[in-house]
């Protein structure tokens, strides 16, 4: 018995040992690296490659570059190979080829040329030009179209500055024709940059071409006011329709499938997809079995009403990739849902469309309603706001579209410039941001508020520039005026004393535009606290716009612009500066004026009467951001400057137009003790321009000229005046901070 048991035990032990041995071997296979150290894996780059050993070079880069420049094919054009940068060394100027009157031109192209020739970019000297624009209408290159210009190639080749298309921008809306609608223009554009609607990814030369939106003939040439998006609920109120489209379909042929299948989405409740087969003359012969039904449904909806009452609007491709829908939908405040595979969406180089449009895929058409429904309400609001913003900044008029195109090209030429996506995608946008002024967006007036609150948050570093202002006093003594310049008792001297008493003044600059010669330094007073005083004589004295020239002397963000006869107290100056610091993007000042529509004359009127509203604050006593000096001088078109120069007047109206146009906000008036010009003086001097009726009429004319040149009336009225918190409150004057403002007499 025992022996047997022992044998069994022995056997079991042996089996166990065997198992341990073989099993262990197996286990080792499962956890192999236990106890074993493997050599590390190689790096993907060998040392020779990391150090780029000499032997690697075979083609010298310069030679490679030269070869590329010579042999480049059209599809391979890039700025570095097809563009001549040397032409742009002297500035970014645009030359427009002379227009041949015998050749027909579409109204849209005429608008483009108008906008360009009146713009600040324009030059009449081809040798100064960086970019060239054709005087020939290339918008419509559909050979079946009535606007098609024949014999384009020979006309191009005979142009004096054509130069194989180098540095040219060619604008085009339609290319190719039935049946395949290719993107071929029917001409050799050589090395020219193509700014074209309906571009496909395959034909778009990145960082060289520009994708344009397709615009109607009726599109505004310039101007275009901002549209408020009404009734934004958070969470967003649902408009009547979720998703809408109304348009024609083509039954067959290229690009027809997408629109032909839209009826699958239509539910006549919140997704409205109505199409018609009616287009052209022979639609009846081509119609399919759905046409009758579709046409009936189509007539039930009004296009405008549909767009304005839909949250999302479909932008499907037509024959070509882009369609008018895109612009129409943006204009109507509807969020575009793009359904055009391979389309290069307009200005995608600078615009972040992800925050303002929805991408759908033609291949997944039936998912579109689900996608749209899945977007939460908050994002709907954000999308709508952003699409409105983009519409306003870059699409609302021809001039904005064209200037955006030019600015994109400029940005490519000067690759190192800083205008980044934040600038382009936020108000007021890339068109009014001049990259030469600063290279950090936080220095711009509209970003100032954020940046100051940011610095406060980051430990409150005080920026000297932000807590001080530079007073710019414009002195314009006329010959024969009884006012004695800069003597011990003149108003200028008085003003200098008042200003210098302010805690916030960093420097005083007198712009000496008087016919008298500049008084010698000894006759200028020395100011308290050693505030520097500079006298600047403008180059063109008679040019009144000189007062807005950006001077290197102005180092602070705030400019306090003053006429020499302004009578202010130090408290008023300090209070105005305090208010301005909270509204750095606006003009803050004392003398207010307003505009009104004069129905009898059918034009704009200008008044200085005491009214309940104002829309301008005159720069005789106003504070604003110094960036507006730069904008005034460098950004405004030559015709605007000409108007001011010729009339020796209206420069203060123009800067109000400028600031309102850029910010879409009214200026701010702060309370003042009394009329800011001393009335007794102007009563004596009958020559003072303020009492001159001609002067007044001239300003009215200016106002109307500016409206015409801006394309709309940018001024905005305000009924709000800012006063100190305890202003004229029945409490002891001693408790008030700005006491002088309530003293009745000097």
Partner 1 sequence: MKEKYSQSFTIFAGNTSSFPSRPSVKLNFRNFFLGFAYILLFIFLVLSIFLWVSHPQNKKGPSVLLDRASLEHLTEYVVHSDSVSFPSQKNCTYYTCFDVYKCSHIHSGRIGVYVYPLVEYVDKDKVPITKKITLEFHNMLKTIINSVYFTPDPDEACLFIPTIDLLNQNRIRPKDVGKALASLPYWNEGRNHLIFNILPGSMPEYHPFLEVDIGYAMATSGGFSSLTYRSGFDVSIPVFSPLAADLKGQNTGGDRTWLVISSQPNIHEDFREIISEMAAEHPRFLVLNSCASSPLDTKIRCRDKEVYRFPEILLNGTFCLMVRGVRLGQPTLMESLAAGCIPVIVSDSYVLPYAEVIDWKRAVLQVYQGDLSKIMDVLSCVSSDRINEMRRMGNWIYTRYFSSIERITLTTLRIINDRVFPHAGRSYSDWNDPPPDRRPLTSNTFALPIGPPRSQGFTAVVLTYDRLESLFHVLERISTAPSLAKIVIVWNNQFKDPPSILSWPRLPKPLQIVRTKRNQLSNRFYPFPEIETEAILAMDDDIIMLTTDELEFGFEVWRQFPDRIVGFPSRTHVWDGRSHGWKYESEWTNNVSMVLTGAAFYHRVYNYYYTSAMPGDIKNWVDDHMNCEDIAMNFLVANLTGKAPIKVAPRKKFKCPECVNADLLSVDLSDMTAHMTERSECINRFARIYGRLPLRSVEFRADPVLFKDNLPDAFKKFKDIGSL
Sole window of 158-166, 396-404, 415-423, 487-495 interacting with partner 1 (rule: CB under 8 A): 415-423
Stretch that binds partner 1, among 141-149, 155-163, 361-369, 466-474 (CB under 8 A): 361-369
Alpha-helix runs per DSSP H in 99-150: 107-117
Unique residue bearing structure tokens 């008023």: 572
Q: What is the DSSP letter of 525?
A: P
CB-nearer residue toward partner 1: 410 or 664: 664
Looking at beta carbons only, is 508 or 623 nearer to partner 1?
Answer: 623
591-630 positions binding partner 1, by CB under 8 A: 592, 610-614
How buried is 211 (Cβ within 10 angstroms: 0-12 exposed, 13-18 middle, 19+ buried)? buried
Q: What's the closest the beta carbon of residue 636 comes to partner 1, in angstroms?
A: 20
Cis peptide before 732 (omega within 30 of 0): no
Helix, strand, or coil here: 592? strand
Q: Which is nearer to partner 1, 46 or 288 (CB)?
A: 46
CA atoms of 382 and 380, how far apart (whole Å): 5
Interacting stretch for partner 1, rule CB under 8 A, among 183-191, 275-283, 649-657, 731-739? Answer: 731-739
Nearer to partner 1, 547 or 673 (CB): 673
Q: Which of 442, 528, 603, 733 binds partner 1 (CB under 8 A)?
A: 442
Question: Nearest distance from residue 352's CB to partner 1, in Å?
Answer: 4
Q: How far apart are CA 215 and CA 224, in angstroms?
A: 14
In the block, residue with structure tokens 């008029």:
397
Collapsing DSSP states into helix, strand and coil, what is residue 671?
coil
Q: State which residue, 324 or 722, has the beta carbon closest to partner 1.
A: 722
Q: Is 421 in the site for partner 1 (CB under 8 A)?
A: yes
Q: Does 70 bind partner 1 (CB under 8 A)?
A: no
134/110 Cα distance (integer angstroms): 11
Cβ proximity to partner 1, 333 vs 637, nearer residue: 333
Q: Which residue's entry shows tokens 């575009």?
A: 336
Indicate which residue of 42, 599, 652, 723 is catalytic.
652
d(C-alpha 562, C-alpha 502), whole Å? 14
| Residue closest to 147 by CA, chosen among 179, 108, 115 | 108
Under the phi-then-psi rule, with left for phi > 0, alpha for psi from -120 to 50, and beta for the rest, what region is 164? left
Q: Is 734 in the site for partner 1 (CB under 8 A)?
A: no
Alpha helices in 620-678 (DSSP H): 627-630, 638-647, 651-663
Kindly tell me which residue out of 223, 430, 667, 724 binds partner 1, with binding defined by CB under 8 A: 724
**Which H or E run contains 670?**
strand 668-670
Q: Does 464 engage in binding with partner 1 (CB under 8 A)?
A: no
Segment 339 to 358, residues that bind partner 1, using CB under 8 A: 341-342, 352, 354-355, 358
CA distances to 176, 670, 672, 736 from 733, in Å? 78, 19, 16, 5
Question: Which residues share a beta bridge with 474?
Answer: 511, 563
Least distance to partner 1, CB of residue 396, Å: 13
Please give the size of the binding site for partner 1, defined by CB under 8 A: 148
Length in residues, the chain: 746
736 sits near partner 1 (criterion: CB under 8 A): yes
User: Quick one: which of 3, 70, 144, 231 contacts partner 1 (CB under 8 A)?
Assistant: 231
Closest CB to partner 1 among residues 118, 270 = 270
d(CA 157, CA 144): 23
Q: Which is nearer to partner 1, 97 or 384 (CB)?
A: 384
CA separation for the pair 144, 127 (Å, rounded): 37
Footprint on residues 34-53 left by partner 1 (CB under 8 A): 36, 38, 40-53
Token couple for 240:
């009547």
Residues 485-514 that bind partner 1 (CB under 8 A): none
The verdict on whether omega for the bond into residue 522 sits within 30 degrees of 0, i.e. cis, is no
3-state per-residue secondary structure call for 423-492:
HHCCCCCHHHCCCCCCCCHHHCHHHHHHHHHHHHHCCCCCCHHHCCEEEEEEECCCCCCCCCCCCCCCHH
Asked if 374 is part of the footprint of partner 1 (rule: CB under 8 A), the reply reads yes
Is residue 392 part of the contact set for partner 1 (CB under 8 A)? yes
Q: Encoding tokens for residue 429?
A: 């946008």
When the beta carbons of 268 and 342 are compared against partner 1, the nearer one is 342
Q: Which stretch binds partner 1 (CB under 8 A): 78-86, 103-111, 478-486, 555-563?
A: 78-86
54 near partner 1, rule: CB under 8 A: yes
Can you tell me the distance from the alpha carbon of 220 to that of 402, in angstroms, rounded to the nearest whole number? 12
Q: Is 461 in the site for partner 1 (CB under 8 A)?
A: no
DSSP state of 33: T
- List the interface residues with partner 1, window 3-32 (CB under 8 A): 5-6, 8-9, 12-13, 15-17, 19-20, 23, 26-27, 29-30, 32
Query: Under the criterion CB under 8 A, does residue 655 sit at the interface with partner 1?
Result: no
Q: Which tokens go with 536? A: 């600047």
Stretch of residues binding partner 1 (CB under 8 A), selected from 118-126, 134-142, 360-368, 651-659: 360-368
Least distance in angstroms from the C-beta of 441 to partner 1:
9
- Cβ of residue 108: shortest distance to partner 1, in angstroms? 27
652 is catalytic: yes
Contact between 397 and 224 under an 8 Å Cβ cutoff? The reply is yes
- Interacting stretch for partner 1, rule CB under 8 A, among 75-83, 167-175, 214-222, 484-492? 75-83
- Of 123-131, 197-205, 284-292, 681-689, the segment contacting partner 1 by CB under 8 A is 197-205
- Is 82 a binding residue for partner 1 by CB under 8 A? The answer is no
Q: Which is nearer to partner 1, 29 or 480 (CB)?
A: 29
Q: How far apart are the first and last CA of the chain?
A: 132
| 56 makes contact with partner 1 (CB under 8 A) | yes
Closest CA to 688 of 472, 474, 477: 477
Q: Which is nearer to partner 1, 276 or 465 (CB)?
A: 465
SS3 (DSSP) at 560: strand
Task: Give which of 629, 627, 630, 624 is closest to 559, Cα–Cα.
Answer: 624
Q: Which residues pair with 96 in a beta bridge?
A: 133
* Separation CA 692–CA 540 (nearest Å): 24
309 near partner 1, rule: CB under 8 A: no
Q: In the set 128, 240, 267, 453, which binds partner 1 (CB under 8 A)?
A: 453
Pull the structure tokens for residue 41: 């894996």
Tokens 């009745």 map to which residue? 744
- 529 interacts with partner 1 by CB under 8 A: no
- Beta carbon of residue 679, minimum distance to partner 1 (angstroms, whole number): 13
Least Å distance, CB 132 to partner 1, is 20
Q: Which is nearer to partner 1, 118 or 352 (CB)?
A: 352
Considering only residues 558-577, where is the footprint of partner 1 by CB under 8 A?
575
User: Rounded to whole angstroms, how far apart are CA atoms 688 and 691?
Assistant: 6
Answer for the pair 330, 390: CB distance below 8 angstroms, yes or no: yes
> By CB under 8 A, which span of 255-263, 366-374, 629-637, 678-686 interacts with partner 1?
366-374
Is the CB of 341 or the CB of 543 nearer to partner 1? 341
84-103 binders of partner 1 (CB under 8 A): 85
Q: How far is the CB of 39 from partner 1 (least distance, A)?
A: 9
Asked whether position 450 contacts partner 1 by CB under 8 A, the answer is yes
Q: Quick one: 693 exposed, middle or buried, by C-beta within 10 A (0-12, 13-18, 19+)? A: exposed
- Which phi and psi (to 5°) does residue 734 adopt? -70, -25
Annotated catalytic residues are 652
């Amino acid at each position: 018995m025992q022996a047997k048991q022992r044998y069994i035990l022995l056997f079991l032990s042996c089996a166990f040992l065997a198992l341990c041995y073989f099993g262990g071997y197996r286990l080792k296979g499962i956890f192999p690296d236990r106890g074993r150290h493997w050599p590390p894996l190689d790096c993907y780059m060998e040392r020779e490659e990391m150090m780029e050993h000499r032997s690697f070079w075979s083609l010298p880069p310069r030679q490679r570059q030269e070869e590329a420049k010579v042999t480049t094919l059209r599809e391979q054009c890039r700025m570095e190979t097809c563009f001549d940068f040397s032409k742009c060394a002297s500035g970014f100027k645009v030359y427009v080829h002379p227009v041949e009157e015998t050749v027909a031109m579409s109204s849209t192209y005429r608008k483009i040329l108008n906008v360009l020739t009146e713009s600040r970019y324009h030059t009449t000297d081809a040798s100064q030009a960086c970019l060239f624009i054709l005087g020939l209408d290339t918008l419509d290159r559909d050979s079946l179209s009535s606007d098609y210009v024949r014999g384009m190639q020979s006309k191009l080749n005979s142009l004096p500055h054509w130069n194989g298309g180098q540095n040219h921008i060619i604008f085009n809306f339609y290319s190719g024709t039935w049946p395949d609608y290719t993107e071929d223009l029917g001409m050799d554009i050589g090395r020219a940059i193509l700014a074209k609607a309906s571009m496909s990814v395959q034909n778009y030369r990145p960082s060289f071409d520009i994708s344009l939106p397709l615009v109607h003939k009726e599109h505004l040439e310039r101007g275009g006011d901002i549209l408020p998006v009404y009734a934004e609920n958070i969470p967003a109120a649902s408009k009547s329709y979720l998703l809408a489209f109304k348009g024609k379909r083509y039954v067959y042929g290229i690009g027809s499938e997408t629109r032909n299948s839209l009826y699958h989405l239509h539910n006549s409740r919140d997704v409205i997809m109505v199409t018609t087969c009616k287009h052209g003359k022979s639609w009846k012969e081509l119609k399919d079995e759905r046409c009758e039904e579709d046409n009936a449904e189509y007539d039930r909806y009004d296009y405008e009403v549909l767009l304005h009452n839909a949250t999302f609007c479909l932008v499907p491709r037509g024959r070509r990739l882009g369609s008018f829908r895109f612009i129409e939908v943006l204009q109507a405040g509807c969020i575009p849902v793009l359904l055009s595979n391979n389309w290069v969406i307009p200005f995608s180089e600078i615009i972040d469309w992800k925050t303002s449009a929805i991408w759908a895929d033609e291949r997944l058409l039936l998912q579109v309603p689900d996608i749209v429904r899945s977007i939460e309400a908050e994002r709907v609001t954000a999308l709508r706001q952003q699409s409105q913003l983009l519409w306003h900044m870059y699409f609302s008029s021809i001039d904005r579209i064209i200037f955006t195109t030019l600015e994109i090209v400029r940005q490519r030429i000067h690759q190192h410039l800083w205008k980044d996506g934040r600038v382009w995608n936020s108000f007021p946008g890339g068109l009014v941001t001049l990259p030469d002024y600063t290279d950090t967006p936080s220095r711009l007036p509209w970003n100032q508020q954020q940046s100051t609150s940011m610095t406060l948050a980051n430990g409150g570093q005080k920026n000297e520039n932000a807590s001080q202002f530079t007073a710019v006093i414009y002195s314009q003594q006329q010959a024969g005026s009884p006012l004695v310049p800069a003597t011990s008792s003149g108003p200028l001297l008085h003003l200098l004393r008042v200003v210098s008493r302010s805690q916030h003044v960093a420097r005083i600059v007198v712009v000496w535009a008087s016919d008298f010669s500049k008084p010698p330094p000894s006759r200028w007073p020395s100011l308290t606290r050693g505030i520097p005083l500079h006298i600047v004589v403008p180059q063109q004295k008679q040019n009144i716009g000189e007062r807005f020239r950006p001077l290197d002397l102005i180092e602070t963000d705030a400019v306090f612009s003053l006429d020499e006869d302004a009578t202010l107290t130090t408290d008023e100056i300090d209070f105005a500066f305090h208010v301005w610091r909270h509204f750095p993007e606006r003009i803050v000042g004392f003398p207010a004026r307003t505009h009104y529509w004069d129905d009898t004359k059918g034009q704009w009127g200008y008044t200085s009467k005491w009214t309940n509203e104002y829309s301008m604050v005159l720069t005789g006593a106003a504070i604003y951001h110094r960036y507006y000096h730069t904008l005034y001088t460098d950004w405004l078109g030559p015709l605007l400057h000409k108007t001011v120069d010729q009339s020796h007047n209206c420069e203060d109206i123009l800067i109000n137009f400028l600031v309102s146009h850029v910010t879409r906000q009214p200026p701010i008036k702060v309370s003042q003790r009394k009329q800011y010009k001393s009335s007794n003086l102007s009563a004596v001097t009958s020559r003072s321009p303020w009492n001159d009726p001609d002067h007044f009429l001239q300003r009215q004319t200016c106002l109307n000229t500016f409206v015409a040149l801006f394309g709309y009336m940018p001024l905005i009225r305000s009924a709000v005046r800012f006063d100190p918190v305890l202003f004229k409150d029945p409490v002891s004057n001693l408790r008030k901070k700005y006491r002088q403002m309530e003293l009745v007499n000097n």
